Structure 1
Amino acid sequence: MIFKSVDVVHLLKAPALWIFLTGALLAYYVGAEVSPTWVMETVTLDVQADAQGRLFYVQRGLPQYLHKVKTETEAVLTTQSLKNFSVQGERPPLLKEVISHDQRVDGQTQTLYEQRLAKRHWGFWSLLPALVAVLLCFISKEPVTALLGGIVAGAFLLGRYDLTEDVLVPQLATTGAAGVLLLYLWLLGGLMGIWNRTGAAQAFAEFMTRHVVRGPRSAKLTAWMLGVIFFQGGTVSAVVVGTTVKPIADKENISHEELSYIVDSTSSPIASQLAFNAWPGYVQAFIFVAGVPFLLTEADRITFFFASVPFCFYAIFAVLSTFLLSIDKLPFTSRQMRAAMIRARTTGQLNAPNANPLSAKELQASNVPPGYTPHVIEFFLPLGLLIVVAVGTFIASGSPQVRWAFGLAFISAMLLAILRGMSLRNVMGGVTDGMKGVVLGSVILLLAITIGGISKEAGGAIYLVELLEGNLSYWLLPVILQLLTIIIAFSTGTSWGTYAVAFPLAMPLAWAVAQANGLDHPQLFMTICFAAVMDGSVYGDQCSPISDTTVLSATCTGCDLMDHVKTQIPHATIAAGLAAIGWTLVTLVFV
């Protein structure tokens, strides 16, 4: 027998398997048997004429020419016609048309153009892809399988049964997917691999030990400052800061619970504050809302991202609390964290007696070739180029050129290693090792992009808008979005995956609620809702025991994973509560 009967029984008892099968079957049934509800989305177009007199409007930075414009009497898509199609279970003959009509403005007749889009949803079932992904990750604690399960459910719901040709290839053959591969897999992975091969991070740690650290406070403050310096966030920050600062902190009897909390709370939170990194380029792809002028182009959406930075209250409080912990001035310290601090200072035990610390030997292992002497310049020069280019291009153009920044840092690290005597073979070996180290993260990001597109096509955002826009107090929406994204991110262990699921739902809902309530400052309200999704996702990711940054923060600092989670949650929760209060007050007073 190839398979033992006990293995089959064990497999059949696996809850994740039944959730996957149930979700797939439900999605297939709903997609095949349940007629979707068709609704109309109307967008007023800013139509211009080119040099040849052709009419066009700009969508996502590209001109879209009007080939056929209809009058109101010729319109196929109307509110009533779409209701009829929904009742009859039929698909509209077309999904998009442009209507023109004349309107008197300031005593003059102007021709206005509007685009009508036929959109569909399956009610509650439109949320099935995201729900399957969340449940699977909560049960299996494995994000790749969970995201694939959500993608399968969404594909079956949409009637796309060839997952490779109809789902994965179209979604991955996009500019966004290519950007993730270029930035996260090649440039970032390659840079980290070169630093590991040249010993640049270790040289930097030795430099800091000799010139900066003088005791426990300065050791913790160094960890906090490194988290700020590595504002790229996520796994990169956790790995580099954790492995760099651990030898320094261990010498000063800093408990591993303290250190892992500082490392974790200055990874993703600081990345949303000093966002001269990959975050704006990734997030902007999910926040386009038809008819919203300040989200029209990619540049508009990146500008909107930076405008939200002062309202990311959780990130601000999280970074501030770790700073106060670093200088021993934090007003509130949890019982578990206080006990860890006393234990480490008085006994020298960096972990709890019954702890099972995660090994960080692999991440700390040196791959420096024999005869090569690391130098701190190999760390400072590429990092300095990265920061200068990212910040400089933002100041010059209003949009940071993150790929340029990483590309120059990557190239400078390679050239510097070669000029200092490392063979090209060893340099490329470091590059390939670095790429291998971020393959899993790249796969998760690509799957997150895919499920985000699937969820949007399934109409989850449209359903939520219809359900909540007339029945929700506007001032409650930011906190509701925060709670929803906390649940999703905690269950899936990824903030970026949560963005892909949440933003296509949250941003149209926020705009609809603002319009329904006649808010005086809808853009400010959208900014607050955006910040709530950003911060809720970061909090859920940061506190989740299945998050890559949580695991890496514990691993790289030698901490027990659950000790890290339990000592971190009280402080992170206080920051999240203060953020919720802040959003509510700003909404009530200024919106």
Structure 2
Amino acid sequence: MFKRIQNTSLIFFICCLLCAFYINFNLSPEWVENQHQYQTYKTADGRLVYKAADQQISIESIVDYQTSPIRQAVLDSQQDKPLILEQWVYLGSEGEVVLLKADFHFGIWSLLPAFVAIALCLLTREPLVSLLGGIIIGAVMLGRFDITHQVFIPNIGTSNAASILILYLWLLGGLMGMWAKTGAAQAFADYMTLHYVKGPRSAKLVTWLLGIIFFQGGTMSTVLVGTTVKPIADKAGVSHEELSYVVDSTASPVASIIAFNAWPAYVQAFLFIPGVAFLATEQDRIAFFFSSLPFSFYAIFAILGTLLLSLNITIFSGKPLQKAVLRAQSTGQLDAPNAMPISAKELHHNQVPEGYQAHMLEFILPLLSLILVAIGSFFVMGSPQIHWAFSSALGLSIFIAVFKGMTLKQVIDGFGNGLKGVVVASVILMFALTIGVLSKQLGGGIYLVATLGEQIPFWCLPVILQLMTMLIAFSTGTSWGTYAIAFPLGLPLAWSIAQTQGLANPEIFMMVCFATILNGSVYGDQCSPISDTTILSSMTTGCDLMDHVKSQIIPATFAAILAAILWTSTVWIFA
């Protein structure tokens, strides 16, 4: 069976590789005009500037839209790559200033790298090989045949990639290694089991509550909750599929509705629409974000789904999770028979030196340090400084261990075991980042928006935006990257439909459409095997990646269907 799957996967990859070569040498990309609105203003010395990524950037020159060589009329009449790819222009009679960009896509072929990666994940259950296959396909499509120098080095040599390596390889791995070396995690698990956790249900409820409390979202929540509850849940006999589902589905969904985090500040930058009064300023857009939260039906249902599972109510969980619950109860096996967890086993076993007395405070104090630094830096600086938070936790853990008598050699040994435990997952994250960049460069998101967003009745738009963002996030593995694609394209479309079809309550319609983009992206990110949060949920809970994906996608899809019904009903009745 294994050999047959291996042969099928190889034939599939070779066929896709031949398609990639054909696309590169024979298909011309379709160039598309994209308009990006920014809030521009003049400085005291008269310069016109705009803000992006918290930086003030000058606008050097502006031309009339009708003279721009990258407007759609010109792009349609030429086959070659435009001489320039972006330009500031005056748009319309009111002279709105927008940034015009020339992007391209290869039609449905733009989705090929992501499709290959996901298909190979399902076939082989090997995320590392699958992602590499998708990267090779994308590189060939773009004509970047020297993959090392033209793909990996440019993408890995970025501040974003360096941030991932430092956080997840050094800081997270080091912290988990120290907790294993000092026995702190096991001491905490023993204490919680003795006083609070009496079985699988209470262990899952603790996990669910921590997911609510750690509402910073995304990677931080999955890492923090996963590493905290793993020893408790293992001791209580909770299957790893259940644990990873609860951790993953209380991360981004919670962050999107308890939004005292970096999400509103990031998202509001994509919400500006000229002429829309309630989206005019940054404060207006943040207020609009919070006003739309009651319509985040998917996030609400996702959180309720994890609560029901935590209470051992599995009727809405789907067969994979039900089987995992039954297996753990009847056999005590926390993983499926053929599972291949992506974290090293040594992270989940103590290597406490002889004579060293572990104490639960060695787990709690670094954890408190992590939380306080993250939340404190959010209120002081406007966004949580995750690297500072994990650095403080790791530093405190090392200091306590040395203070209690652990030798420097033993500390380094624990730190090294921690790095070894997450190195594979860190490489997977780097590959996921790379294939996400390639998918964006190939215009997969632009193609989906252009295909799904044409001539539709208003009551269909919320579900179409939901499906569009689910596909983009699933195929790219990022919700925040999907926001950057979908909000600037989807919300202006929603406003245009609200105006042309004469809706009585256009602001409510816009709130619902906003919520569908926000929530659809979260669903796609959660369910994608190439998403960082999916990978980290599996890594920190010790779950096989594809077991997590296949068990989570059923309750997540059920929540998405219920949300779609409510969104459609809301705009039909109230808009």
Common fold: TM-score over 0.5:
yes
SS in 2 for 1:14: helix
Q: Distance in 2 between matches of 1:285 and 1:148?
A: 30
2:178 aligned partner: 194
Report if aligned partners of 1:358, 1:554 keep a CA contact under 8 Å in 2.
no
Amino acid at match of 1:423: T
Q: Do structure 1's residue 518 and structure 2's residue 498 form an aligned pair?
A: yes
2:516 aligned partner: 528
Report if aligned partners of 1:61, 1:296 keep a CA contact under 8 Å in 2.
no
Deviation per CA, 1:401-447: give whole Å up to 9, x if none. Answer: 22222221121111111112112221222122112211122112211
Report if aligned partners of 1:60, 1:297 keep a CA contact under 8 Å in 2.
no
Instruction: Say which of 363, 370, 373 aligns to 1:386.
Output: 370
Report if aligned partners of 2:211, 2:251 keep a CA contact under 8 Å in 1.
no
Q: Do structure 1's residue 96 and structure 2's residue 89 form an aligned pair?
A: no
Q: Distance in 1 between matches of 2:180 and 2:443?
A: 45
Q: Do structure 1's residue 477 and structure 2's residue 470 form an aligned pair?
A: no
1:61 aligned partner: 54
Instruction: Say which of 354, 368, 383 aligns to 1:370.
Output: 354
Structure 1 residues 358 and 75 mapped into 2: Cα distance closer, same or farther (>3 Å)?
closer
Amino acid at match of 1:69: I
Q: Distance in 2 between matches of 1:426 and 1:304?
A: 52
Deviation per CA, 1:73-92: give whole Å up to 9, x if none. Answer: 6433333221111xxx2222
Structure 1 residues 27 and 322 mapped into 2: Cα distance closer, same or farther (>3 Å)?
closer
Q: Which moved more, 1:440-449 or 1:220-229?
A: 220-229
SS in 1 for 2:477: helix
Instruction: Say which of 244, 248, 254 aligns to 1:264.
Output: 244
SS in 2 for 1:412: helix
Q: Distance in 2 between matches of 1:318 and 1:201?
A: 28
Q: Do structure 1's residue 245 and structure 2's residue 238 form an aligned pair?
A: no
Amino acid at match of 1:243: P
Q: Distance in 2 between matches of 1:299 and 1:155?
A: 41
Report if aligned partners of 1:27, 1:154 keep a CA contact under 8 Å in 2.
yes
Deviation per CA, 1:438-475: give whole Å up to 9, x if none. Answer: 11221122112211111111122222222221144303
What are the residue-to-residue correspondences of 1:78-93 with 2, within 5 Å? Answer: 78-85=71-78, 89-93=79-83
Structure 1 residues 222 and 82 mapped into 2: Cα distance closer, same or farther (>3 Å)?
closer
Q: Do structure 1's residue 48 and structure 2's residue 45 form an aligned pair?
A: no
Q: Do structure 1's residue 124 and structure 2's residue 112 form an aligned pair?
A: no
What are the residue-to-residue correspondences of 1:260-339 with 2, within 5 Å? Answer: 260=240, 262-275=242-255, 313-327=297-311
Q: Distance in 2 between matches of 1:183 and 1:299?
A: 31
SS in 2 for 1:414: helix
Report if aligned partners of 2:181, 2:350 keep a CA contact under 8 Å in 1.
yes
Q: Distance in 2 between matches of 1:221 and 1:504?
A: 34
**TM-score, with structure 2 as normaliser:** 0.79
2:402 aligned partner: 418
Q: Distance in 2 between matches of 1:552 and 1:189?
A: 10
Amino acid at match of 2:81: R
Instruction: Say which of 480, 492, 497 aligns to 2:477.
Output: 497
1:4 aligned partner: none
Report if aligned partners of 1:485, 1:536 keep a CA contact under 8 Å in 2.
yes
Structural RMSD (CA):
4.6
Q: Distance in 2 between matches of 1:18 and 1:297?
A: 54
Deviation per CA, 1:145-184: give whole Å up to 9, x if none. Answer: 2222222222222222221222221122222212211222
What are the residue-to-residue correspondences of 1:342-361 with 2, within 5 Å? Answer: 350=332
2:97 aligned partner: 113
Displacement of 1:330: 7.1
What are the residue-to-residue correspondences of 1:206-245 with 2, within 5 Å? Answer: 206-213=190-197, 218=202, 221-222=205-206, 224-225=208-209, 232-234=220-222, 237-238=225-226, 240-245=228-233
1:538 aligned partner: 526
Displacement of 1:206: 1.7
1:22 aligned partner: 15
Displacement of 1:338: 8.0
Displacement of 1:383: 0.8
Where in structure 1 are there 5+ consecutive unaligned residues? 1-6, 105-110, 251-255, 490-495
Report if aligned partners of 1:284, 1:301 keep a CA contact under 8 Å in 2.
no
Q: Distance in 2 between matches of 1:566 and 1:102?
A: 49
- Size of the aligned set, in residue pairs, is 549
Structure 1 residues 311 and 198 mapped into 2: Cα distance closer, same or farther (>3 Å)?
farther
Q: Distance in 2 between matches of 1:303 and 1:408?
A: 33
Displacement of 1:526: 2.6
Q: Distance in 1 between matches of 2:44 and 2:376?
A: 35
Displacement of 1:581: 3.3
Deviation per CA, 1:473-504: give whole Å up to 9, x if none. Answer: 30322552476479x48xxxxxx835488556
Q: Distance in 2 between matches of 1:75 and 1:267?
A: 49
Instruction: Say which of 452, 460, 467 aligns to 1:468.
Output: 452
Q: Do structure 1's residue 185 and structure 2's residue 157 form an aligned pair?
A: no
Q: Distance in 2 between matches of 1:301 and 1:182?
A: 33
Displacement of 1:124: 1.8
Q: Distance in 2 between matches of 1:516 and 1:72?
A: 20
Percent identity, aligned pairs only, is: 37
SS in 2 for 1:92: coil
Q: Distance in 2 between matches of 1:464 and 1:567?
A: 27
Structure 1 residues 140 and 284 mapped into 2: Cα distance closer, same or farther (>3 Å)?
farther
**TM-score, with structure 1 as normaliser:** 0.77
SS in 2 for 1:161: coil
Q: Distance in 2 between matches of 1:419 and 1:550?
A: 33
Displacement of 1:28: 2.3
Deviation per CA, 1:90-111: give whole Å up to 9, x if none. Answer: 222222222347956xxxxxx5
Give the structure with higher Rg (CA): 1
Report if aligned partners of 1:44, 1:113 keep a CA contact under 8 Å in 2.
yes
Deviation per CA, 1:365-388: give whole Å up to 9, x if none. Answer: 211111110011111111112122
